[in-house]
Amino acid sequence: MIRKARHRDALLEGRRILVVEDDVRNVYALTNILEPRGASIRIARNGQEALDALTSAAASPDDRIDLVLMDVMMPVMDGLTATREIRRNPALRKLPIIALTAKAMPDDQQRCIEAGANDYMAKPLDVEKLLSLVRVWMPK
């Protein structure tokens, strides 16, 4: 119980993060990084599920999403397309989106930012860098 309490993060406590990721290993890793620090995680396996989750969360203030961690390469709808769709919705224009990609090509960061992501991180994820980005972009 004491060990668990030490990992809590006041900025993440009670915050809702939508993890949009099709690889169960990455979902597991992200959940194990964020939940012990107090964040509530909601999972979408592709861009379309992310859009559906954000639409249903918008209908209920208690289910609001505070931040999105968006994988770029996914089936059904990729992360860049989903990010562009999210930005088309005036109610979601300010929702922080951090793009995550394993591809890590030189122009990936620019493509993610142009699609509407607030920030970008290459996989494999550096836990401290991820937490730092989440803290920076989490709405106050």
Residue bearing tokens 């859009």: 51
Task: Give the per-residue pLDDT at 8.
Answer: 64
What mean pLDDT, rounded, does the chain reach?
89
**Residue 1: which pLDDT band, with cuts at 50, 70 and 90?**
very low
pLDDT tens for 15-48 read 999 999 999 999 999 999 999 999 999 999 999 9
Listing from the earlier edge strand, what are the strands of the sheet with 67-71?
40-44, 16-20, 67-71, 97-101, 119-122
pLDDT tens for 69-103 read 999 999 999 999 999 999 999 989 999 999 998 87
Whole-model pTM: value is 0.91
Give one DSSP letter per residue of the chain, joined into a string: -HHHHHT--TTTTT-EEEEE-S-HHHHHHHHHHHGGGT-EEEEESSHHHHHHHHHHHHT-GGG---EEEEESS-SSS-HHHHHHHHHHSGGGTTS-EEEEESS--TTHHHHHHHHT-SEEEESSPPHHHHHHHHHHHS--
Q: Is the pLDDT of residue 2 over 60?
A: no
Q: Which CATH class is domain 2-134?
A: alpha beta
Share of the chain above pLDDT 70, in %: 93
Task: Give the per-residue pLDDT at 6.
Answer: 53
Residue bearing tokens 């142009």: 114
Q: Is the pLDDT of residue 9 over 80?
A: no
